[in-house]
Amino acid sequence: MREVYIIGLGMTRFGELWAQSLRDLFAEAALGAIKDSTMVHIDSVYIGAMSPGLFVGQEHIASLMSDYAGFNGVPATHIESACASGGLAFRQAYIEVASGLSDVVMAGGVEKMNDGADATYALASAADQEYEAFHGVTFPGLYAMMARAHMHHHGTTREQLAEVAVKNHLHGTKNPRAQFKMTVSIDQVINATPVAEPLGLLDCSPVTDGAAAVILATKEIAQKSGKPLVKVKASAHATDQIALHSRKDLSSLPAVGTAAQKAYKEANIKPEDLDLIEIHDCFTIAELIVMEELQVVKRGQSGPAVSAGFSRFDGQLPINISGGLKSKGHPVGATGVAQIIEIVEQLRNEAGERQIANARLGMAQNMGGSGGSCVIHILEGES
Amino acid sequence: MREVYIIGLGMTRFGELWAQSLRDLFAEAALGAIKDSTMVHIDSVYIGAMSPGLFVGQEHIASLMSDYAGFNGVPATHIESACASGGLAFRQAYIEVASGLSDVVMAGGVEKMNDGADATYALASAADQEYEAFHGVTFPGLYAMMARAHMHHHGTTREQLAEVAVKNHLHGTKNPRAQFKMTVSIDQVINATPVAEPLGLLDCSPVTDGAAAVILATKEIAQKSGKPLVKVKASAHATDQIALHSRKDLSSLPAVGTAAQKAYKEANIKPEDLDLIEIHDCFTIAELIVMEELQVVKRGQSGPAVSAGFSRFDGQLPINISGGLKSKGHPVGATGVAQIIEIVEQLRNEAGERQIANARLGMAQNMGGSGGSCVIHILEGES
């Protein structure tokens, strides 16, 4: 398989974007990526979106979006894996370039969540419909059970959960595209409106509209593009049961662990070699469990690590320097691609106020549902 | 890229299967394919489904289906391109094996359309939601406009449209998995309840539950499997505008023509080399226009050709020997994979009563919406 590079980035701001429809959002991101890459032709398009059917009554979106963005006729494929749809669209684009089938492929993600649909119902379709959603369990409830289990097994505290939100909001203040660019305090997080205890409103990622797109290409094309070289060093994907009742332990996320081990092996690196990570912090507890599955801290030590500043912009391993899903926003299908964009900007040394010094190796960890799927990419800057 | 072979086939019967849920259907097809292939391990899974969200409130289906079929942990990806979802899932599996990333990959398709959802609303999400569906145009109406245009430009008659239904129902009587195993007459088709004139009830494919799965593998594994060798000789994909108002001519389907040209070139064959074709006959007019785009007849000559018996089981080029979507049924996400299964059974000489003599080269043509996407595979029997 061939080496694959990322040569173009495009993204809308994230938020309640009432003036832009699904197709407007995608076109803005796609044309941004085209402009950044300076390419005039792309061979094919992959688009991640979780449920444009339930959110806005539109399926068949790959053809529609690529036509609206000006790529009429080009092969275009819609990829869905709940909130991991964007990361998985990126992986399919990676495979297509690596295979030799195509030289220049776009991977995008989009979701229009604020358009009148029942977002909680639509999101619950990422859980087991027959055994979870139908009985009234929605995502805050599922992650609340995971938080309770983690607290029980490892002594994780309410304050440690809140520290994740405090850190990510602090990071998000420096991201011009973030939905909620405000700091929050531990007290504010703990005393926010309860959603599913122990999780309150400020432990949950928001409902967001947005789109993101990147362009992948061969090394030869990347070298000609004049952009700082960023290589896809590993692409790994794993699944797990989507229903919590099928799992042995609610305080772990085996799909993340499996994908991480594959990714480290493929990249031939150790967790401590990473310079920064974007983690899928759909809820504060998710960031803690994922840190453990990625083996950047020992099992049960994620809470104390976050409280000690381990994952802040000035800590040992900056996590969610973009603000994460929590502050940047979480248009579910776009999130995985937006994570890739943050890592590439850091590796290109183009992250402005958010720039981490000497970033060379970064990871994007994107997850579906309550961990029923996980896709991980490790990117390397070669400049 | 490596050569890719098909080594396992599994399929449910098609129909109103009230006793089986979405996951039951997929598991039956997937386990059937595993059994047929004699493989004990698969590297990854691709699943085509158009809108499990709108039909049964379930997204994130790749993880759920693969877990339920016993492949927990394996990378599993849901592909959507409206009614071309199954064919496109097959294409992604093909790319993954061809790339060298995986040796044994499952491609499946599933749809549960009879479960209380508004099937017409769900299907209309494959059209342009803002410009077509919202204003009340659903698929029979869109294809009726195409039929009117074809009649106007080429003199195609109501009887010629009906001949497509008559032929496919005749073929379907020999398919034990078909939903409607009855013959129909020209008079019955023409005098059936009008749906969107000139199309009546018997010009339309039905609402169907069903699943289909195949296993793709390298040549080395295929040779060891002991199955008759069937190779993927070409895989081609193209898109078009999904809204009819964007197109120059309603009597053609440019995405089909584009994909066909790519497929013939890749396989290095001419249309007349084909021994049989499965065409996406969602409506009778679709089969006629697709025949022209595939260049198996001249532009405007599809109607007279069907009336002359060109595409019957005993004609020059048998089309939809399975009964097609019309008689076999059309569980939208499964259709593209079921087409592949029919072709492979014919090339393996395992099609029983439906067997075409000396079949060596077959094509499966799968289409999304009113032609907004098309994926074509050419398969070759090497036994």
pLDDT digits (tens, 9 = 90+) for A56-71: 999 999 999 999 999 9
- Does A157 share its domain with A34? no
Q: Quick one: pLDDT at residue A40?
A: 84
Query: Dihedral (C-alpha) B214, B217, B223, B224: value to the nearest 10 degrees?
Result: -90
CA distance B64 to B108: 13
Within 8 A of B125 by CB-CB distance, chain A residues are 52-53, 57-60
Q: Is B126 on the interface with A (CB under 8 A)?
A: yes
Q: Quick one: pLDDT at residue B241?
A: 95
The answer to whether the Cβ–Cβ distance between B73 and A128 falls below 8 Å is no
- Does B308 share its domain with B352? yes
Q: Is the pLDDT of residue B279 over 90?
A: yes
Give the nearest partner residue to A129 out of B56, B95, B239, using CB atoms: B56
Residue A346 lies in a domain: yes
Residue A221 lies in a domain: yes
Shortest CA distance to A233 belongs to which of A260, A264, A212? A264
Residue A304 lies in a domain: yes
Task: List, for residues A144-200, the tens digit of each pLDDT value.
Answer: 999 999 999 999 999 999 999 999 999 999 999 999 999 999 999 999 999 999 999
Q: How far is B22 from chain A (nearest CA, A)?
A: 10
β-strand A104-112 against A44-48: which pairing, if any? parallel
Scanning B3-32 for CB atoms below 8 A from A yields: 21, 23
Q: Which residues pair with B6 in a beta bridge?
A: B216
Q: Quick one: pLDDT at residue A355?
A: 98
3-state secondary structure B243-295: CHHHCCCCCCCHHHHHHHHHHHHHHCCCHHHCCEEECCCCEHHHHHHHHHHCC
- Does A284 share its domain with A360? yes
Give the nearest partner residue to A80 out of B72, B78, B125, using CB atoms: B78
B87, closest residue in chain A (CA to CA):
A77
- Which of the pair, A179 or B115, is modelled with greater confidence? A179
Within 8 A of B258 by CB-CB distance, chain A residues are 73
Query: Dihedral (C-alpha) A222, A228, A229, A230: value to the nearest 10 degrees?
Result: -120
Domain boundary among A163, A196, A225: A225
Q: Is the pLDDT of residue A375 over 90?
A: yes
3-state secondary structure B63-127: HHHHHHCCCCCCCEEEEEECECHHHHHHHHHHHHHHHCCCCEEEEEEEEECCCCCCHHHHHHCCC
Residue A305 lies in a domain: yes
- Does A76 share its domain with A188? no
The answer to whether the Cβ–Cβ distance between A60 and B88 falls below 8 Å is no
Beta carbons of B60 and B28 less than 8 angstroms apart: no
CA distance A85 to A83: 5
- Does B274 share its domain with B336? yes
Give the nearest partner residue to A238 out of B56, B73, B88, using CB atoms: B73
Q: How far is CA A15 from the centre of its chain?
A: 16
Cβ neighbors of B264 (< 8 A, separation 6 or more) are: B234, B270, B271, B378
- Does B34 share its domain with B142? no
Query: What pTM was estimated for this model as a whole?
Result: 0.98
User: Which of the four pLDDT bands, split at 50, 70 and 90, describes residue A116?
Assistant: confident
CA distance B377 to B267: 9
Within 8 A of B50 by CB-CB distance, chain A residues are 59
CA distance A105 to A118: 33
- Does B366 share its domain with B270? yes
- Does A182 share its domain with A96? no
Structurally, chain A folds into a number of domains equal to 2
- Does A377 share its domain with A312? yes
> Is B140 exposed, middle or buried, given 0-12, 13-18 or 19+ CB atoms closer than 10 A?
buried
Chain B interface, best mutation among A24, A45, A60, A72, by max B CB count within 10 A: A60
Residue A326 lies in a domain: yes
Q: Is the pLDDT of residue A383 over 80?
A: no
User: Which of the four pLDDT bands, split at 50, 70 and 90, describes residue B174?
Assistant: very high
Domain boundary among A194, A225, A256: A225
DSSP-derived letter for residue B50 is S
CA distance B69 to B189: 40
A129, closest residue in chain B (CA to CA):
B58
Q: Is B374 a catalytic residue?
A: no
Task: List, for residues B299-330, the tens digit of each pLDDT value.
Answer: 999 999 999 999 999 999 999 999 999 999 99
Residue A371 lies in a domain: yes
Within 8 A of A73 by CB-CB distance, chain B residues are 238-240, 254-255, 258
Above pLDDT 70, what percent of chain B? Answer: 100
H or E segment at B218? strand B209-218
Q: Is B117 on the interface with A (CB under 8 A)?
A: no
A68, closest residue in chain B (CA to CA):
B241
Give the nearest partner residue to B77 out of A52, A88, A254, using CB atoms: A88
The CA distances from residue A241 to A255, A257, B342, in Å, are 9, 14, 32
Q: Quick one: pLDDT at residue B116?
A: 84
Query: Can you give the CATH number for the domain in which A341 is found?
Result: 3.40.47.10
Q: Is the pLDDT of residue B217 over 90?
A: yes
CA distance A339 to A6: 13
Scanning B217-256 for CB atoms below 8 A from A yields: 237-242, 246, 254-255
Give the nearest partner residue to A57 out of B77, B129, B246, using CB atoms: B129
Beta carbons of B218 and B210 less than 8 angstroms apart: no
Q: What is the mean pLDDT of residues A15-37?
A: 97
DSSP-derived letter for residue B198 is T
DSSP-derived letter for residue B178 is -
Residue B113 lies in domain? 4-118+208-225
- Does B220 share its domain with B247? no
Scanning A60-89 for CB atoms below 8 A from B yields: 60-64, 66-67, 72-82, 88
Task: List, for residues A200-242, the tens digit of each pLDDT value.
Answer: 999 999 999 999 999 999 999 999 999 999 999 999 999 999 9
Residue A130 lies in a domain: no
The tokens of A145 are what?
Answer: 């059970």
The answer to whether the Cβ–Cβ distance between B101 and A101 falls below 8 Å is no
Give the nearest partner residue to A59 out of B57, B80, B99, using CB atoms: B80
Residue A102 lies in a domain: yes
The tokens of B135 are what?
Answer: 């204003």
Beta carbons of B172 and B180 less than 8 angstroms apart: yes
Q: Is the pLDDT of residue A130 over 90?
A: yes
CA distance B287 to B306: 10
Q: How far is CA B15 from the centre of its chain?
A: 16
Q: Quick one: pLDDT at residue B313?
A: 97
CA distance B361 to B349: 12
Q: Is the pLDDT of residue B177 over 90?
A: yes
Q: Quick one: pLDDT at residue B383?
A: 76
Within 8 A of A125 by CB-CB distance, chain B residues are 53, 57-60
Task: List, for residues A355-373, the tens digit of each pLDDT value.
Answer: 999 999 999 999 999 999 9
CA distance A383 to B64: 41
- Does B159 share its domain with B302? yes
A370, closest residue in chain B (CA to CA):
B60
